[in-house]
């Protein structure tokens, strides 16, 4: 479970490759279902962007997705971000995501 920085949303990872976003300001209303279904393996981590409008997901399928909360059909895929899988990720500022993987590498990703 990961709360958004503004406290309005909760992300819960469930099953092996799925996560759900809950709107806490609307009585735990489900905002999204099956976003993680784009992953083909276990989701290891989800992290909120500092502005709470984006969330990134890391998976053993080697991919990272960045999801837009307002425009639910929009996403960015970082294909084959880490050989062997993505273990962890976090936002270090408003435009930079850092990730670590099974390949023993740490990478930074910049978004404009």
Give the model confidence (pLDDT) of 2-22 as tens digits: 999 999 999 988 776 778 899
In this prediction, residues 71-90 reach a mean pLDDT of: 91
In this prediction, residues 79-105 reach a mean pLDDT of: 96
pLDDT score of 107: 97
In this prediction, residues 89-100 reach a mean pLDDT of: 97
pLDDT score of 34: 62
Q: What are phi and psi of 36, to 5 degrees?
A: -65, -10
The distance in angstroms from the start CA to the end CA of the chain is 28
Burial of 7 (0-12, 13-18, 19+ CB in 10 A): exposed
91 confidence band (pLDDT: 50, 70, 90): very high
pLDDT score of 35: 64
Show the CA angle centred on residue 81, arms to residues 59 and 42, nearest 5°. Answer: 10
For 18-74, the pLDDT digits (tens) are 788 999 987 878 877 666 578 889 899 999 999 999 999 999 999 999 999 888 778
């Amino acid at each position: 479970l990961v709360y958004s920085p503004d406290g309005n949303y909760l992300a819960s990872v469930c099953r092996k490759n799925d996560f759900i976003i809950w709107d806490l300001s609307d009585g735990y209303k489900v905002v999204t279902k099956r976003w993680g279904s784009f992953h083909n393996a276990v989701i290891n981590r989800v992290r909120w962007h500092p502005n709470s409008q984006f969330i990134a997901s890391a998976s053993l399928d080697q991919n990272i997705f960045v999801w837009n909360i307002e425009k639910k059909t929009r996403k960015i895929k970082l294909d084959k971000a880490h050989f062997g899988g993505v273990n962890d990720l976090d936002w270090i500022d408003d435009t930079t995501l850092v990730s670590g993987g099974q390949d023993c590498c740490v990478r930074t990703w910049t978004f404009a």
